[in-house]
Amino acid sequence: MNILYIEPFFGGSHKAWYEQVKKHSQHHFDVLSMDARFWKWRMYGGAVTLAENFLAYTEPVDLILVSDMLDLTTFLALCRHKISVPIGVYYHENQFAYPWQENSEDIQQGRDVNYGMMNYLSALVADFIVFNSDYNRNSFFEGLQDVLNKMPDYPHNTLAGLQAKSDILPVGIQVPRPISPALPSKQTLTKSPLILWNHRLEYDKNPDGFFDLLLRLKADGHDFRLAFLGESNEKSRKNYGRKLDALSDHIVVQGHLTYDEYLDWLALSDLLPVTSIHDFFGISVMEAIAYGVKPLLPKRLSYPDLYDDKKNPSLFYRTEEELYEKMVDAIIHIDAVRKESYAHLTERYWWTSVGKEYDEYFKKLLKK
C-alpha cells in the first residue's frame, strides 16, 4: 500500500511521528511537507502550497493522511478532481483544547475560534479521522460542542457523524535501549535526587509551575540536582531565565545533547514532576518513564488514561500543594524510589507494537 502523508508543519513531534510510522510500517510512505515555521499561517495558507505540490505529484497513492495543521477543505477544493482514494486527518493536537496565552493577539482579536473551526471543517470533509489519545478525541468533541452551542444554529447530528468515523492510534516511543555499562549508577553520580525537565521551554509546558516548585524545595532546604534538558529559544530563555538562574547551583547538565546523551541522562534521572497545561499525548514524559524515571503527573490531560490513575494513584496529584508534598516525600525516600520502576507502563506504546496497529487500521480502511 502506498500512503501519502501531507504536513504543513514538518518538524518537532510531527516529523518524529512520521519518521517512526514510516520506519515501523509494512506499507510504503511518502510525504509532502513544509518547514515547521509560522504555524498560524501554515493553518491558513499551507493548503494552497501543498495543493500545488500534490497536483504535481506523480507517484501512485492508495491512501492519503493529512495533519490536523492542514486546512483540508481548501486542499480538497483545489485537488478533489485528482483524488479518488480515502483521505483522512491525524490529530496530533486539536485547537479547541490548546491553551492560549491571555496576551495572545488572536485572543484579543477574537480569532482563537477560527483555528478550532478549521479542525472541525477538516473533520467534516475527511473520510476518516484519527486522534493520538482519548483525551485528544474527547477534548475535540467537547470543545466543538461548546463552540457550536454558542452559534445561532447548526446541524445537530454533525457530532455523531464525526464520532462514528473517528478512531485512536497512539503515538509510539522507541524501545528503550540497553544502558551503557560505562554509565555511572544514580547513586554513584550523586546521592541527591536528580530531578528532570525534558520538555520544550514553552508556555504550554508551564515552566513557571516547575521552577516555582523547585525554588520552594530549595528554600525549604531540600537537597536535589537538576537535569535541565529540552528545546528552548531566545524568547523562552528571556521569559524564564531569571528563575532558571536562581537554580543554577543545582543544575548538573543543561543545553544541547546528542540523542544518545539525552537517553543516558534519562536513565540517570530519578524524578519527573510534570506541570504541563497542555499535552495531547506527551512523548517526553513517556520516554522518561520508559527509562525508569518516576513521574508525578497532574490528574488531567492525557495522563490519567495513559498511566491508569486508578491503578497508580501515587503517581498523580490534583493541586500544587499535593505535588509539593509528593516531591518532598520522594526526595526523603529516594533510596526506595530508586528501587521502583514504572517502565512497564510504557510497553504498550513501543513502536514495535504501535506500528502494527497502524498497519491493521490502514488495511481495514481500504477494505471498506
Please report where in the chains the cell 532546604 appears, as a residue.
Answer: 221
Q: Are 31 and 7 in contact (CB under 8 A)?
A: yes
| Grouped pLDDT means (10 residues each) for the chain, 368 residues | 97 95 97 95 96 98 98 97 96 82 52 83 98 96 90 84 97 87 63 92 92 97 94 79 92 89 92 94 96 96 96 97 98 94 93 96 88
pLDDT score, position 99: 61
The CA angle 353-358-362, to the nearest 5 degrees, is 150
pLDDT of residue 348: 95
What global pTM score does this model have? 0.89
Domains of the chain: 2-172+350-367 (3.40.50.2000), 186-349 (3.40.50.2000)
